[in-house]
């Protein structure tokens, strides 16, 4: 966890993710990434020179049918208040809309519910557990499916909801998160499309690329976060 904490601290300082007086809601899916984020933020809170409050919000995608008792106990042990919000996201995505590529709609609905609850609780920031591998995968997906050189940012401001979205694990590798989360009560992903998505395909492609070109993911990450390395066409020429 010490390495995760170091990377989190670097991200917070590099991008000014956390400020005095913040009330931060952690989007807690119950997966390894969001659980690691919650633990790291709780520890960071104990020694950071920034004074901020923490809570956790879990969106139940299955209409209140999921058992979050272990997640609830985990949050109680951390002394973090957990709010569980029931929703019918799975019903909308799979039964009503019958989406063949469900991830985009599911993510939009889930984050809408998460952000609304955060606002209701008086939070000014929402923290998500996206890490370095997520950043690179999103870049690949955007390139191949949208024809854009784009990915998410460490910090974004949602003007309509007056919320900032922060990603403190942006420098962390998924393999390091997996190591520290072995003893966490990781919630099994109930999504019918789990492991059968375009994101999984992007993950597999990057793994294959890494075999042929070692450090390729590291190079991709560096090219994304260092704007001085950009060398693309200028429309004025």
Q: Is the pLDDT of residue 133 over 80?
A: yes
Give the residue from 209, 46, 231, 23 showing the smallest Cα distance to 126. 23
* Domains contained in the chain, CATH given: 2-135+151-188 (3.40.50.620)
Q: For strand 53-60 and strand 23-27, is the pairing parallel, antiparallel, or unpaired? A: parallel
Q: How confident is the model over 3-24, as pLDDT tens digits?
A: 999 999 999 999 999 999 999 9
Q: Is the pLDDT of residue 100 over 70?
A: no
Query: Which residues make beta-bridge pairs with 158?
Result: 163
Angstrom distance (rounded) from CA 119 to CA 59: 14
Angstrom distance (rounded) from CA 124 to CA 224: 27
Is 35:7 a contact under the CB 8 Å cutoff? no
Identify the band that residue 154 occupies on the pLDDT scale cut at 50, 70 and 90.
Answer: very high
87-103 CB burial, b ≥16 within 10 A, e <16: bebbebbeeeeeeeebb
Q: Is the pLDDT of residue 203 over 70?
A: yes
Per the structure block, which two tokens stand in for 162?
């007056």
Burial class (CB in 10 A: 0-12, 13-18, 19+), 237: exposed
Per the structure block, which two tokens stand in for 167?
């990603």
Is 36:129 a contact under the CB 8 Å cutoff? yes
**Mean pLDDT for the stretch of residues 228-234:** 82
Angstrom distance (rounded) from CA 69 to CA 74: 9
Q: How many helices (H) and strands (E) would you count in the chain?
A: 9, 6
pLDDT, residue 147, reads 92
Identify the band that residue 66 occupies on the pLDDT scale cut at 50, 70 and 90.
Answer: confident
Whole-structure pTM value:
0.91
Angstrom distance (rounded) from CA 197 to CA 103: 8
**Mean pLDDT for the stretch of residues 158-163:** 92
């Amino acid at each position: 966890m010490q390495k995760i904490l170091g990377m989190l601290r670097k991200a917070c300082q590099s991008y000014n993710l956390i400020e005095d007086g913040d009330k931060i809601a952690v989007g807690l899916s119950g997966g390894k990434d969001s659980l690691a984020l919650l633990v790291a933020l709780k520890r960071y809170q104990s020694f950071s020179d920034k004074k901020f409050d923490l809570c956790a919000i879990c969106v139940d995608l299955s209409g209140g049918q999921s058992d979050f008792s272990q997640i609830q106990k985990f949050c109680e042990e951390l002394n973090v208040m957990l709010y569980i919000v029931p929703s019918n996201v799975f019903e909308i995505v799979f039964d009503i809309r019958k989406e063949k590529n469900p991830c985009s709609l599911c993510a939009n609905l889930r984050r809408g519910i998460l952000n609304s609850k955060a606002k209701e609780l008086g939070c000014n920031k929402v923290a998500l557990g996206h890490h370095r591998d997520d950043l690179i995968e999103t870049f690949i997906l955007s390139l191949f499916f949208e024809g854009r050189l784009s990915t998410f940012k460490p910090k974004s401001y949602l003007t309509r909801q007056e919320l900032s979205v922060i990603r403190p694990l942006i420098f962390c590798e998924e393999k390091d998160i997996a190591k520290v989360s072995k003893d966490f009560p990781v919630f099994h992903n109930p999504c019918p499309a789990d492991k059968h998505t375009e994101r999984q395909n992007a993950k597999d492609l990057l793994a294959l690329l890494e075999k042929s070109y070692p450090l390729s993911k590291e190079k991709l990450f560096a090219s994304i976060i260092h704007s001085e390395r950009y060398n693309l066409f200028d429309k004025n020429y």
